[in-house]
């Protein structure tokens, strides 16, 4: 999935709860969002959940009788004289997947038909599945291997999906899934600490946020301040909880996870954007 940034502010565990109670929700929202963006970037852009609605579809809605009768076992066809299975392929968001039937199972496999569709992986959890605009009951499907959406109510996933219509209308179906990793408690504490300092800055109060000032000498006492630019280059902030979390989850200071891209994969469609 394309990485556009944190989809929403992380839920902070505030280190200044008394102060939060006395300022406006708008200010706390700004502080939490800004703190999230900073911590998210410094931890390698690896935490946070994003909700994505997918519209699985076939390459075509043509008659698949030929494949059902003569197709190879990869397509769930009735080849090799194994019966009259009628599995069918989907052109899902990441290309062709198949619905193996009993006739396609050669060896260690239960002789029951399995209707499944492959989603872009890995999926964190399924939020909902809509059929003809109506959400299905949760027990009618399950998620296997972080990407296989298996139907468990004895029915089959639709062979066609009218992509000219919104998923609230008849003739359509969609899957809304959460992608990403849940924010750990350490991340919530980190955002809470940084958001408290940002909140003070928003309100024009004294805070620990380092500025360009390097040192102050007064009455024989010299106080040194960290340079924010230098800290950020080193992937730290100068705040204890924040930097402990960053160091524990991103010790090599990566900007994001490594990825593998295949030029041969079938691109998935993002409707409406």
Can you give 260-273 as a three-state secondary structure string? Answer: CCCCCCCCCCCCCC
State yes or no: pLDDT of 224 exceeds 80.
no
State yes or no: pLDDT of 125 exceeds 60.
yes
| pLDDT (tens digit per residue) in 169-214 | 999 999 999 999 999 999 999 999 999 999 998 888 877 765 554 5
Q: Which residues of 101-138 are buried (b: 16+ CB within 10 A; e: fewer)?
A: bbbbbeeeeeeebbbbbbbeeebbebeebbbeeeebee
Which H helix or E strand runs over 28? Answer: helix 25-42
What's the pLDDT at 67? 37
238 lies in some domain: no
- Among 134, 166, 181, the domain boundary falls at 181
Q: Average pLDDT over the chain, rounded to whole?
A: 76
Which of 52-56, 138-142, 216-220 is the least confident region?
Answer: 216-220
273 lies in some domain: yes
Q: Does 22 lie in the same domain as 58? A: no
66 lies in some domain: yes
Q: Does 268 lie in the same domain as 176? A: no
231 lies in some domain: no
Q: Does 136 lie in the same domain as 188? A: no
What distance in Å separates the CA atoms of residue 33 and residue 235, rounded to the nearest whole number?
A: 19
Domain assignment of residue 117, given as a range:
52-181
Give me 199's structure tokens: 């909140």
What's the pLDDT at 10? 97
89, 90, 93, 95: CA torsion to nearest 10: 30
The number of folded domains in the chain is 2
């Amino acid at each position: 999935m394309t990485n556009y940034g944190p989809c929403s502010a992380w839920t902070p565990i505030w280190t200044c709860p008394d102060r939060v109670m006395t300022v406006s929700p708008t200010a706390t929202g700004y502080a939490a969002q800004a703190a999230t963006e900073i911590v998210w970037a410094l931890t390698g852009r690896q935490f946070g959940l994003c909700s994505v609605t997918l519209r699985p579809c076939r390459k075509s809605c043509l008659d698949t009788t030929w494949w059902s009768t003569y197709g190879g076992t990869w397509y769930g066809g009735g080849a090799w004289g194994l019966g009259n299975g009628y599995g069918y392929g989907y052109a899902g968001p990441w290309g062709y997947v198949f619905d193996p039937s009993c006739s396609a199972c050669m060896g260690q496999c239960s002789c029951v038909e399995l209707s499944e569709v492959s989603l872009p992986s890995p999926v964190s959890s399924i939020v909902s599945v809509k059929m003809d605009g109506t959400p299905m009951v949760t027990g009618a499907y399950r998620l296997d291997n972080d990407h296989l959406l298996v139907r468990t109510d004895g029915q089959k996933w639709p062979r066609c999906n009218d992509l000219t219509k919104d998923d609230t209308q008849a003739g359509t179906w969609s899957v809304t899934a959460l992608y990403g990793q849940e924010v750990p408690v350490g991340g919530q504490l980190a955002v809470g600490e940084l958001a408290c300092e940002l909140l003070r800055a928003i309100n024009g109060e004294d805070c620990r946020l380092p500025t360009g000032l390097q040192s102050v000498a007064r009455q024989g006492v010299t106080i040194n301040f960290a340079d924010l630019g230098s800290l950020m280059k080193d992937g730290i902030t100068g705040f204890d909880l924040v930097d402990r979390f960053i160091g524990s989850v991103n010790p090599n200071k990566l900007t994001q996870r490594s990825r593998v891209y295949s030029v041969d994969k079938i691109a998935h469609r993002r409707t409406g954007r």
